[in-house]
Amino acid sequence: MEKGVPIRSITRAFSALRAINRHGSMTMMEIAKAAQVPYPTACRIVQTLLYEGLVEQEPARKRYRATALVQTLATGFQHEDQLVSVARPHIVDLTKRVGWPVSIAVRVGRNMMLRDSTHANSSLTFEHYYPGFTVPILDSASGKLSMAFAQDEDREMILRFMRISQEIDIDYLSTAEIGLNVQQIRDEGYATQGRNHFNLTPGKTSSIAVPIFKNGHFEAAMTMVFFVAAMKLTDALENYLDDLKATAAAISHGLSNN
């Protein structure tokens, strides 16, 4: 077996479990579509997850949901809470000023994972996002930012793994890589996503992400999300970028001096 090549059956099982855990309750067809696997494969995966007790079938309905046993997968994992405790008051204040929800995300594998957000503090949002929600690294402002500020060898490792895993169309991956202007993002200090396609309201929001540093090293991305119909991306940059950068700088200062 080639070094670094994932076991495809395990990758598919995790994709299905993440989809069920994210959406709360799903039919077998929905699971197959979300995990991007054939229907018979989805059936086998769900049967395995049922056997392991990680999912259960809803009473009187052919829908499946995660069980409390899923929480045991995180047993022993201790995430550094300093980021959230330092950033929280700053992003709440920022949302009070601009109105739009703000989130903090870190890279986990090939995704960006939400650590905290102010969606519950704003009426200008379609959905409330919870810590642990993930978006693809090349299809989000926070992910592009993280990739741009990553070490060159780390960035190449992530892209290589995406290629060999064969989960992403190679032509699409090439296009995404071309659109990832690392030097420009570093120089300008922000990244954008014209339309967010992999959230709970695909295509209805845009986002701007700015970096948070700890002792000079990239720590997380702070992202503001806004309705596509409400404002052009260029206008959002003109109106909010300075405030976003100032808030991220204050968080960075707090992390570095805490």
Whether residue 175 is predicted with pLDDT greater than 60 in this model: the reply is no
To the question of pTM greater than 0.85 for the whole model, the response is no
CA distances from 107 to 110, 116, 148, 168, 220 (A): 7, 13, 12, 18, 8
- Would the CA dihedral through 125, 126, 128, 130 be positive or negative? negative
Percentage above 70 pLDDT, the chain: 88
Average pLDDT for 245-250: 98
Q: Answer whether residue 27 shows pLDDT above 70.
A: yes
Domains of the chain, each with CATH number or no CATH:
8-74 (1.10.10.10), 82-256 (3.30.450.40)
Contact 251, 222 (CB under 8 A): yes
Contact 10, 16 (CB under 8 A): no
Other C-beta atoms lying within 10 Å of the C-beta of residue 42: 26
DSSP designation for 14: H
Edge-first strand listing for the sheet containing 26-27: 26-27, 63-66, 55-57
* Burial environment of residue 104 by CB neighbours within 10 A (0 to 12, 13 to 18, 19 or more): buried
Condensed to tens digits (0 to 9), the pLDDT of residues 36-52 reads: 889 999 999 999 999 88
> Could you read off the pLDDT of 187-226 as tens digits, one per residue?
999 999 999 988 888 899 999 999 999 999 999 999 999 9
